[in-house]
Structure 1
Amino acid sequence: MKILTFGTSNSKNSINKKLAFYAAQQIHNADISLIDINDFEMPIYSEDREKKSGIPQLAHDFYNAIGEANSIVMSFAEYNGSYTSAYKNLFDWTSRIDRKIFQNKPVLMLSTSPGSKGAQSVLAAAKASAPFFAANVIAAISLPNFYDNVDAKTGVVTNETFNQSLFEAIDKL
């Protein structure tokens, strides 16, 4: 099973990218494609830019990466209660190719933050909008207090409640 995995932050040390990768590693016999959204940086989307220059190749590359996967594991970073601008821009450009960005793939949505809310606001927004973008959300799981719940040396999540929810979700893939 080919799993496309990414965090929605452009931070080089993204805790959400780490969480998404951890989750994907729990899937038996997975062929994991871990991408960095920094590799898909494009000008800020605008209708004028699209009319002038078309849709950037990087948006097509991201859309094709989704298409080549059997499932998607993504983890949302939350900036000021919403999506990161890096992810939102990638999402906006890619949606111009096809509004059904997720192409009816099973999607495991995660989120984490250093705080006690675990980026629940952005996770809830992403889950609520998912049907409009052809995402078959199998689960949406938040991990609060990342640094208290992940072993810094191994990257292993130590929060048993999260892990139980994760393994239940993986069984649905």
Structure 2
Amino acid sequence: MKKILAFTGSNSSTSINAKLLNYVLNRVSQHEVLQIELSNYNVPIYSEDIEKNNGLPNPSKQLKKLIDDHQALIISVNEHNSAPSAFFKNHIDWLSRVDAKFLQGKKILLMSTSPGNRGAKSSLAFVRDILFPRFGAEVIESFSLPSFGENFDDTSKKLTNEVYALGLDDVVTNFEQNLLN
């Protein structure tokens, strides 16, 4: 059994990425999961001057320690104007100052969703293909859910589109199996 750290890239109290994350975490059965809220780790907007004058923020050091204590991560990234949110990117910027390889050896399941028909694919692709590999991550699986409101029922907290539900179940199963290897 591996330890998984889970969070979203959103600081919204009504985040659809948090709803997707919760849906997925209810499907993880073979591993121990700790879900956190990044908004509980308050950091200033990254600035060389802030780092020079005040050092690294304690919340970033605490978050790095949490990442170190887990073998894998499940992250649902949001999208603002075809890119990861400034909130999420800011956390990544500070973490990279704590340790340039803060994701080294970490296996990751990366997801995204949006109200639109692209499912935050631009943000997902940037994080998966450019941002996370730079810091040593191994993205094992990724999944994008388009048109969240049409494909997720808020009452039952389930995906309503069978094709997406089966696809996401496969992604979660493959991720869990990969952690056992």
Q: Which residue of 1 aligns with 2:169?
A: 167
Q: Which residue of 2 aligns with 1:140?
A: 142
Query: Which residue identity is paired with 1:71?
Result: A
> Which runs of 5 or more structure 2 residues have no equivalent in the other structure?
none
* CA RMSD of superposed structures (Å): 1.4
Matches within 5 A, 1:75-86: 75-86=76-87
> Equivalents in 2 of 1:109, 1:167: separation in Å?
14
Is 1:149–1:159's contact at 8 Å kept on the other side of the alignment? Answer: yes
- The answer as to 2:54 corresponding to 1:57 is no
TM-score normalized with structure 2 length: 0.89
> Equivalents in 2 of 1:161, 1:104: separation in Å?
32
TM-score normalized with structure 1 length: 0.93
TM superposition shift of 1:154 = 2.5
Query: Which residue identity is paired with 1:13?
Result: T
Matches within 5 A, 1:5-154: 5-129=6-130, 130-154=132-156
SS in 2 for 1:94: helix
> Equivalents in 2 of 1:79, 1:108: separation in Å?
20
> Equivalents in 1 of 2:45, 2:83: separation in Å?
17
Q: What percent identity do the matched residue pairs reach?
A: 38
> Equivalents in 2 of 1:36, 1:144: separation in Å?
23
- CA deviation vs aligned residue, 1:3-54 (integer Å, no higher than 9, x gap): 2111101001111122122212211133221111111121111111101110
How many residue pairs get aligned? The number is: 173
Is 1:142–1:162's contact at 8 Å kept on the other side of the alignment? Answer: no
> Equivalents in 2 of 1:91, 1:30: separation in Å?
25
